[in-house]
Structure 1
């Protein structure tokens, strides 16, 4: 069963220096063209399948990140891009940084680097698409819940 669809990607900048964000935008240019893998960039979490986050998590954006994640339909994949998103990076000892994305969300794919190169980001996105396909296939194979057992 082929469950592959064109996944939509939502990019959120946590509290980064914008180095990784520039590299994410470079992935969307014709030079790298991440869209050739079927990925479409969106600004709406309700349409997104892949949540790509750059920057660390601080006390001000933790709730925003959780809210965006909760608005996304299942199944979904979270990609942490850059060392700050992976573990807080050089800012992890700062008073306002909680750490990487995994302090508030389950992360599926880690793309380290400072700043993460477009090739590495695209590799992470390709892995995220494959994982999303796997999650969709697993969800499709699950039996539907019995309404008699719900009540």
Structure 2
């Protein structure tokens, strides 16, 4: 009887919690390359990412739940990027935008470039391109929303 009652409460409450998370993503973006131009275009009035739940009005890292890494990540920048990630509250999501953040891009064989940000942070969605078009970034956000929708809300919220 306890499991039935627990499922009757957990499933609807988990659905509401995940629904609110996927329609109110507050991004912080780490920009080191030309992907920032496409991120700016995506945030503008033509593509209007706010209709997809990506709100561009976060006050600080402690209010953001989405980290978008745009461009090349160097070994000198890696500790600072990790510090930014660690300051974000749970649950937090990471999007690797562009070839440089996914594989190192054109500079993959440089001694100072990380061969992808996924060796440093757990990446949830990869948005390929050099630089990726705004439509591709929007598709990446929609994929992240699908991932959030099916995730377990209980992991981050004490329902009992």
TM-score by length of 1: 0.84
CA shift in 2, pair 1:48/1:141, >3 Å: closer
RMSD (Å) for aligned C-alpha atoms: 1.9
Q: For 1:67-122, what per-residue CA distance to the aligned partner results, in whole angstroms no more than 9, with x for missing partners?
A: 01001111111000001111101111112102211121111100010111100001
Deviation at 1:142, TM superposition (A): 7.1
Segments ≥4 residues shifted beyond 6 Å: 141-144
Which aligned pairs between 1:2-151 and structure 2 lie closer than 5 A? Answer: 2-3=16-17, 4-5=19-20, 6-13=24-31, 15-16=32-33, 18=34, 20-41=35-56, 42=58, 44-135=60-151, 137-139=153-155
Secondary structure, aligned partner of 2:114: strand
Q: For 1:103-145, what per-residue CA distance to the aligned partner results, in whole angstroms no more than 9, with x for missing partners?
A: 211111000101111000011112223323444625268776x
TM-score by length of 2: 0.80
Structure 2 regions of 5+ residues with no counterpart?
1-11
Question: When you count strand as a share of all residues, which structure comes out higher?
Answer: 1
Aligned residue number for residue 5 of structure 2: none
CA shift in 2, pair 1:47/1:132, >3 Å: farther
Instruction: Tell which structure's C-alpha radius of gyration is larger.
Output: 2
Single out whichever of 108-117 and 97-106 deviates more from structure 2: 97-106
Secondary structure, aligned partner of 1:106: coil
Structure 1 regions of 5+ residues with no counterpart?
145-151
User: What is the distance in 1 between the residues matched to 2:134 and 2:44?
Assistant: 10
